[in-house]
């Protein structure tokens, strides 16, 4: 592990689900994508975020999806692009971060945020429920093209997290493979990144490692 340490941003907001129902919520009929800021500290644990709700357990709620982060700058980008006002929690994120580029976080990077230690596990993949929540039919395509997905985390040490907490980098793997690079290989056909991304396979959870391995093999990269 590289020895990178230090403050790298702050928590703009901690958000938990307001469960929604409706025609755009998919086969489950309920979704926790609509997350709202909370004013008091929230416990982040290995099974998820206190007070949050996971409705579609087929695609969400695994240990490596215990928490999801998105950037305040990206919410501002999409507000301008879609001519609307997006606020913290509107991307379905538990953590809205300021000054920390979650899409450029390194796989396996360990962060202390408030009283919790989180580990970066991979990118978010946009879905039709996300598009329905934003009422933007082309969102899956445009969000994928943008490629700034935010990051999922596993929780290594449970603890309370609150708005205003500092994001502190504890350690960063030497492979240097970033969240957006994995997304680009899997979703954009970025064969030029394939050899680099192979170095980070060990930091991906098994399901995402298998997906990425299939992508690498399509590009002729040998993976044992």
Mean pLDDT of all residues in 108-136:
97
What residue ranges do the domains of the chain occupy?
A: 6-170
Domain spanning 6-170: CATH superfamily: PK beta-barrel domain-like (2.40.33.20)
Mean of the per-residue pLDDT values for the chain? Answer: 95
Phi-psi region of 215 (alpha: psi -120 to 50; beta: other; left: phi over 0): alpha
Residue 128 scores a pLDDT above 70? yes
Residue 60 scores a pLDDT above 60? yes
pLDDT of residue 3: 47
pTM of the model: 0.95
Residue 26 scores a pLDDT above 70? yes
Mean pLDDT of all residues in 169-182:
98
Tens of pLDDT, residues 66-96? 999 999 999 999 999 999 999 999 999 999 9
CB 179 within 8 A of CB 186: no
pLDDT of residue 6: 75
Give me 184's structure tokens: 């680009």
Instruction: Report the percent of the chain where pLDDT is more than 70.
Output: 98
Tens of pLDDT, residues 206-216? 999 999 999 99
Establish how many alpha carbons lie within 13 A of residue 186's alpha carbon, considering only the half-sphere containing its beta carbon.
Answer: 25
Mean pLDDT of all residues in 24-53:
96
Q: What are phi and psi of 36, to 5 degrees?
A: -120, 140
**Burial (0-12, 13-18, 19+ Cβ within 10 Å), 21:** exposed
């Amino acid at each position: 592990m590289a020895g990178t340490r230090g403050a790298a941003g702050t928590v703009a907001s901690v958000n938990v689900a307001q469960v929604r129902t409706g025609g755009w919520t998919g086969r489950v009929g309920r979704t926790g994508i609509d997350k709202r800021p909370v004013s008091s500290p929230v416990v982040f644990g290995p099974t998820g975020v206190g007070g949050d709700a996971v409705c579609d357990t087929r695609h969400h709620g695994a240990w490596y999806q215990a928490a999801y982060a998105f950037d305040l700058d990206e919410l501002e980008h999409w507000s301008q692009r879609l001519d609307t006002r997006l606020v913290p929690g509107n991307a379905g994120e538990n953590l809205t971060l300021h000054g920390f580029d979650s899409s450029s976080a390194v796989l396996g990077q360990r962060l202390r945020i408030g009283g919790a230690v989180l580990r970066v596990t991979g990118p978010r993949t946009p879905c039709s429920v996300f598009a329905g929540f934003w009422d933007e039919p082309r969102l899956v395509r445009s969000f994928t093209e943008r490629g700034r997905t935010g990051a999922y985390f596993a929780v290594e040490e449970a603890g309370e997290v609150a708005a205003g907490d500092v994001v502190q980098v504890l350690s960063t793997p030497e492979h240097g493979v970033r969240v957006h690079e994995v997304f680009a290989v899997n979703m954009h056909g970025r064969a030029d990144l394939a050899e680099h991304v192979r170095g980070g396979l060990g930091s991906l959870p098994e399901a995402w490692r298998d997906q990425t391995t299939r992508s690498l093999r399509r590009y002729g990269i040998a993976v044992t």
